[in-house]
Amino acid sequence: MKVALAQLNYIPGDVSGNTIKIISALEIARNQGADLAVFSELAVTGYPPLDLLFKNDIITAATAAVMEIASHCNDIAAIVGGPSANAGVFGKGLHNSAFFLHEGKIRAVINKTLLPTYDIFDEDRYFQPGSMFQTVELNGERIAITICEDIWDEQPFGDRGLWRLYSVTPLDELMKENPSLIINIAANPFSHNRIKIREEVFIRNAMEYRKPFISVNQTGGYTELIFDGSSVLIDSDGTLLEKLAFCDEEVRTVEVPSTVHDQKQYSLPPSYPDDMTGYVHKALVTGIRDFFNKGGLRKAVVGLSGGIDSAVVLALAAEALGAENTLALLMPTIYSSGHSVTVSVEMATRLGVPYHIVSIEEARHIIEKTLNPFFGDREPDITEENIQSRLRAMILMAFANKFGYMLLNTSNKSEAATGYGTLYGDMAGGLSVIGDIYKTEVYRLAEEINSHEEIIPRAIISRPPSAELKPDQLDTDSLPPYDRLDPILFRYIDGERSAEQIISEGFDPDLVEKVITLVRTSEFKRKQTPPVLRVSSKAFGSGRRIPIIAKFR
């Protein structure tokens, strides 16, 4: 059987646009000689549609769209994801479904059984789980259709190993009809430290059931989420035969192999490397580009400080949007070194990015003079430092408003975790580009950006981190060195380990307690940050829900 893996980039809620894209891909698959075209989970509405699923007009349009797509499936079959009405007498009003389309009609509707309610997922809010299990038949072959989580009944959870989340295993039920092929339509977001596990789950399913396995994922940015595509064909012995593009659209028709295959026919896809920085780079560029393109935005403004964070964000923005659509603002004060201005100008010039130097020194004096009668003889402290940060945000937003730019936030994950940022200052922006990248990872990302040519001046990469808000200031005045801080943050946030577990690994107890206290007491700040492009398994945002007011370690 020839199966087309249709890996596309959708827009949530754009049912008409998504439908046109699906029908166009059907034509490509037809021309490639495919018997069956497979599209991703909730392709018709885009994933995740969230509370758009409560809008009757969206559901009506999605139902009509599936019928329209079916009318194009006369000499080719298709599997398309979309919402369907729950015909039962109880439960939620919708199912998350896979429609099997053939001969111009909907031949079967397969409902998702396992609805994830962890991390970024909240499907139980919208859908009733399926309870019926059936295969479909095409050209004499029986196909087991599953939807994303339906093959994740067992998941690896850190120190606990494989963990069974659900009481039912859909594939066990579907195997009772002896299918010859497993197809999984999915919406798997990118995570640099989980994408390998995803492939392991796919391979384990193929080997356990001794069936060829196909998974079709969507691609593209969806606000904070980035879907990487990477759709696969895996043979029944667990050999990964085909892998589609990373973070790109592609329609590829593959020949589903028999139980025994000649591997010499295939150029097997490479495994993911230990260092995923190159993939993170492409994912972030995809996230920025789609945030702007899908949101009807064109131009970005970045506050360029001479530090590595803003330099990385500027480079990513210029790559995603074009240098001509990216503006850099340099906003020095008396505390800004001449070096900061020089290297910032050098970088903007290398990129061909327009820039302006807007001193905030006079404004700083005016604000401090205005406040002086009230502050009296109190010594300058963080108050005066934050005034500078907020003045810069005001200038950035003024340019954004006047000229139609979107402000990109440049805070990294280490800063966001510990609260090392100023509300309504350097935490401002419409999108946080590197808010899921720890500071030590930012340096690796800078080297990756420079791997073909030096875009970020070496002087920016080598200088000690500083906010330059007072004389001779360094980040280490307030925080531990990042090479000591980040391993603790990673274990506490991404690994969800307790203080005791982290200390047992040899970390200094006082430092661990200090770091965890900083994280816990900074939650109110994170609730007010822009959406963060998610590239790890635990980003700040919808996948990490911690109370602002709480008492815990």
| Tens digit of each residue's pLDDT (9 = 90 or more) over 435-482 | 999 999 999 999 999 999 999 999 999 988 877 777 777 778 888 999
Could you give the angle at the alpha carbon of 108 between the alpha carbons of 106 and 113, nearest 5°? 130
Respond yes or no: is residue 361 known to be catalytic: no
Catalytic pick among 148, 242, 468, 525: 148
Contacts of residue 378, defined as CB under 8 A and 6 or more positions apart, other chains included, come to none
Report the pLDDT value the prediction gives residue 160, as an integer from 0 to 100: 58
Whole-number Å distance between alpha carbons of 34 and 27: 10
Residue that the structure tokens 């360094």 belong to: 474
pLDDT per residue over 380-423, tens digit each?
898 999 999 999 999 999 999 999 999 999 999 999 999 999 99
Question: Does 73 participate in catalysis according to the annotation?
Answer: no
Q: What is the pLDDT of residue 548?
A: 80
Q: What is the mean pLDDT of the chain?
A: 93
pLDDT of residue 259: 44
Q: Which domains does the chain have, with CATH numbers?
A: 2-110+185-259 (3.60.110.10), 279-526 (3.40.50.620)
Kindly give the parts of the chain with pLDDT less than 70.
156-162, 258-266, 553
CA distances from 41 to 36, 55, 106, 133, 266 (A): 16, 19, 16, 18, 28
Q: Looking at residue 238, what is its pLDDT?
A: 94
Q: Tokens 């659209």 identify what position?
A: 249
Q: What is the pLDDT of residue 159?
A: 59
pLDDT value for 161? 61
pTM of the model: 0.94
The pLDDT value given to residue 265: 61
Name the phi and psi angles at 160, rounded to 5.
-80, -10
Active-site annotation holder among 41, 242, 385, 468? 41
Q: pLDDT per residue over 27-73, tens digit each? A: 999 999 999 999 999 999 999 999 999 999 999 999 999 999 999 99
Would you call 148 a catalytic residue per the annotation?
yes
The burial of 198, by beta-carbon neighbours within 10 Å (0-12 exposed, 13-18 middle, 19 or more buried), is given as buried
Given the DSSP bridges, would you call strands 326-330 and 240-243 parallel, antiparallel or unpaired?
A: unpaired
The active-site residue out of 21, 73, 112, 468 is 112
Specify the pLDDT at position 263: 52
